[in-house]
Homo-oligomer: A and B are copies of this chain.
């Protein structure tokens, strides 16, 4: 049917409707994700934790909860254990943290932050917070808080931070 009349050049970024996606939350989450991730990477350039939510979250979690286990972090960042292993490998190589076998449970291990890791964590915290705030510059503080708390709800369910846990893989 339609294929000739609509002059292609009239379809610009500014006037192209997104079809149903315009009202689909997941579309914005998915798209904004790539933008916000890119932006964050820039802000973190050179800091050994660029790329991926994983490193940052892991660093902060280990700093905050000495002895936390890889598998727990994996659940929180929604990755599988194998991905987690590599993450820890890298971070250990970079001297940000260390593994220590758990004394009670020999198959488990605990993660501990290094001095260098601690400093990096301290350095990163303000950057991460500010980045998020700056990125969503056209959102009021109130809206920002609201979004955060609403999304937190879904996140907690998915990650199993609520009642009991499902793995939501």
Contacts and interface: CB of A to CB of B under 8 A. Distances in A.
A42 to B, nearest CB: 10
Given A29-B32, A153-B138, A155-B32, A165 B13 contact: yes
Contacts of A50: none
A35 B68 contact: no
B160 A19 contact: no
The interface residues of chain A, by DSSP majority, are classed as helix
B60 A18 contact: yes
A20 to B, nearest CB: 5
A49 interface: no
A7 to B, nearest CB: 7
Interface residues of A, number: 96
A136 B13 CA distance: 29
Given A9-B104, A26-B36, 10 more contacts: A6-B66, A10-B166, A12-B72, A14-B160, A15-B165, A16-B161, A23-B129, A26-B132, A34-B79, A35-B158
